[in-house]
Structure 1
């Protein structure tokens, strides 16, 4: 069975954070190490095949996604830990790095939400006696004021998201619309924290699901327009370029998402670097909203916090012109093909999506344009 193992590594404690040149070097060393391995011997001598890897290095370490074919989840995790440990140990410049986490992440909340009621976890028991007992239990909960399961799950997720909010080091409460001692309408601090925590939670879900999209395109050797398998997110990129979204593009886009969200959490984010990051943020905000709605946590104040964050992060909304409805100026208002809204703005060409807006804007080395392409 195929498993996606997430590995978080970090530089030694007390070591200065890596600069862009050092991060580029670390990417090269780790990718070269993975390229030299096609399989690893797991527990009990079983061979575990390494199918694919994604490497995203940040100032404090690296986030790795390793796809393996293993007989069981435990074999996948143990084998990848051994592989990464050996890779770091035999690479002199990385020998002191440590593995903080190595596991297959399972996002069961979203999977369960997509089940049909007849087959899902809330389906009534088939046995009449058990069904009667369940109804009696529900009636007792109502009579005693007990909190239903859905409400308990929502409250638990709310607490979890409020805890996660502290991980969003680059985005202070003001970015979510919280005013500090100023008059006027403002987002309540707790609503801003809930939005921040939801963004962190959504990051893990988005990264894992995009990784699955990469695998689908790789296995089918197809573009998004040609793909017959299910895709989580890549189909939500601008339709006009769907024939361009192949597996190499998907990998670059995934690395861009990881690099952007890592800067959100490690405190190094300053501004969006390129069109690909603008589109990545669009998907992340959409995923955040979906998760909040799923857990019945999206009220007006939390929605206002996300709107404020959108205004805070985007310097303009030019990337929206990449989507259907963009007015290219060749149509009269109301004519088929014309778009509603403001005067058209020419969208950034597809081959410039990973090109920095300006010198100094950060682009992850694995996603950046080749030197000859960047010079065009």
Structure 2
């Protein structure tokens, strides 16, 4: 059976965070370590095959996705933990790193088999797309036991999101439309003059911030599934028969170029961007891929809030204010304009008064000093062009 093992590794406590050069070195060391392994000898001598890996290094450590073929969940988890332990110990530069989490995620094919085997009136539909749609529905039946349970779940999710808000360290409340002290005084004056402006309540801003953190985990897992589907089918998004969570919502004009390699680069870009959101180091979006990644993150946060009926006008305004403050411009939106299909990108840019957003430059930094993860960055030859 195929399993996805997620491994969180961290640098030692009280150690300065890694700079870009150190992170690039860590990526190379870990990837080279995985490349030297084809199979793992698990507990009791059981062989576990190493199928694929994704490495995303951030200033405080690395997030690893390890795909293995193992006879059982426990064998997969124990074998991967033993392998990562050995890889870290083998390198003098990584020997002090620690493993904070090592858990198995069921592969999409196994989940589909389990759903197909379900029986009874509440069994999920056979069609994967219908199951996906049903997964995002929100049954809220007032006055019924199911309704009470749904309300309790919504309250629990709200509490969790509010608790997660502080993890979005790069963005103070003002980024979500909350007035600072000077603005607050100005609003009081305007209110006295009968011309009060609109301000987002602090708790609504916290709920929006927590929803973005909450949505990050969901988005990363769903994009990882998309990458796995494209890898298994050896297809692009345009050719793919399997269900996809997000990549099919990228601009249609390039659907034939969204292959498994692109999916991995995009996934790593999401991880790198959201890491900067939460570790306090974010300054500006770095490339077109990050602009599209933020679009997906905002969409996932909105969908989750809607799912639990937590998206009111104030929370929606907070998310709008966040988007307006983080995006420097909205030039990437012309990529979704179907009327421009088949027209030269430079001509489109000139006609719309925006900078050309060529597909080949999606992972190219907008300017010097902007960070793009080494695993997602252009090859040196492409960057030179």
TM class by shorter chain equals: 0.7 to 0.9
2:73 is aligned to 73
Equivalences for residues 1-376 of structure 1 within 5 A:
1-104=1-104, 118-119=121-122, 148-181=148-181, 182=183, 183=187, 184-325=197-338, 327=340, 343=352, 345=354, 347-376=356-385
Q: What secondary structure sits across from 1:224 in the alignment? A: coil
Q: What secondary structure sits across from 1:148 in the alignment? A: helix
Q: CA deviation at 1:117?
A: 11
In the alignment, the residues of structure 2 paired with residue 251 and residue 22 of structure 1 have an alpha-carbon distance, to the nearest angstrom, of: 21
User: Alpha-carbon deviations, 1:44-70, whole Å to 9, x = none?
Assistant: 322222111111111111111111222
User: Alpha-carbon deviations, 1:120-158, whole Å to 9, x = none?
Assistant: 69xxxxxxxxxxxxxxxx99x77xx99811100000111
In the alignment, the residues of structure 1 paired with residue 294 and residue 32 of structure 2 have an alpha-carbon distance, to the nearest angstrom, of: 30
Q: What secondary structure sits across from 2:377 in the alignment? A: coil
| CA contact 1:327–1:343 (8 Å) conserved in 2 | no
* Structure with greater helix share of residues: 2
Q: TM-score, normalised by structure 2?
A: 0.83
Q: CA deviation at 1:344?
A: 5.8
In the alignment, the residues of structure 2 paired with residue 206 and residue 263 of structure 1 have an alpha-carbon distance, to the nearest angstrom, of: 16
In the alignment, the residues of structure 1 paired with residue 169 and residue 119 of structure 2 have an alpha-carbon distance, to the nearest angstrom, of: 38
In the alignment, the residues of structure 2 paired with residue 172 and residue 262 of structure 1 have an alpha-carbon distance, to the nearest angstrom, of: 16
| CA contact 1:239–1:324 (8 Å) conserved in 2 | no
> Structure 2 vs 1, CA of residues 328 and 119 (structure 1 numbering), >3 Å: closer, same or farther?
closer
| CA contact 1:199–1:284 (8 Å) conserved in 2 | yes
In the alignment, the residues of structure 2 paired with residue 363 and residue 326 of structure 1 have an alpha-carbon distance, to the nearest angstrom, of: 31
| CA contact 1:216–1:229 (8 Å) conserved in 2 | yes
| CA contact 2:253–2:341 (8 Å) conserved in 1 | no
Q: Let me know the Cα RMSD of the aligned residues.
A: 2.7
Aligned pair count reads 341
In the alignment, the residues of structure 2 paired with residue 364 and residue 278 of structure 1 have an alpha-carbon distance, to the nearest angstrom, of: 15
Q: TM-score, normalised by structure 1?
A: 0.85
> Structure 2 vs 1, CA of residues 329 and 63 (structure 1 numbering), >3 Å: closer, same or farther?
closer
> Structure 2 vs 1, CA of residues 147 and 286 (structure 1 numbering), >3 Å: closer, same or farther?
closer
